[in-house]
Structure 1
Amino acid sequence: MAETWVIYKASTDDAPGWQERLLMPSGSLTSILSEEFWYNEDLPQVGDRVYESRRVGDEVEARDGDWLVNEVEVFSRADSSQLVICTCTYAPVAPQWERLERGAPIPLEVAAV
């Protein structure tokens, strides 16, 4: 599968939470909500929610977030990599955090290689 980079951005610069969206080290404001490498063959679609996760002690919890994808633009390169821009609107939902199950730990002999 080709490399895919997904950027979720707010539809307006003054969308809720704008005060916390800063680019570092400059400190300038941005509309970017989240960025991630995409390992799934199915790209984000209109109507999807931006996934949120948090660490609680040694556990990780996740939920569907308050941002709803309302536009998806895909930019492909000659090397088959892709950049996907998802424009999102703020549509809050009641948070339903669920604990994520961890996979088995990496064996010490594999981790040392």
Structure 2
Amino acid sequence: MSNLFLAVLIAFLGIVAGLIIALMTKEELKPGKKYFLLMRKTLLLAMVVLMVIFLYDRWIYLLITATAFIIVIVAKQFKLSNSAYNLLTYLLFGLVLFYASLETELFVIESVLVFIYGLTIFSV
């Protein structure tokens, strides 16, 4: 149980690491903005695909997670502020990691993806 907590904590520390990197490399953020946006979209897609692959036999978890992803996508269309969208996205990541904890391999992969996504938060 404590290992799961530490893994989730480290995954969410990607936000802090992203802030530190953004503060240290301000001049590189503007030219790389389109790549960071592409990276964020790719990471979200990878999370969905991996959830489907690993949890295909647990349809209720997939249904709940798919609904949450749809809510995040629709919320983005309503032009939420960046901070509100990021909060909503990270609530979704909490849900994803909760369900991913059912499969160890999935949990490790999803944790790494959440960490990498956190690195891009302050770059856009």
Q: TM-score, normalised by structure 1?
A: 0.26
Q: TM-score, normalised by structure 2?
A: 0.24
Structure with max Cα Rg? 1
Structure with more of its chain in helix, by fraction: 2
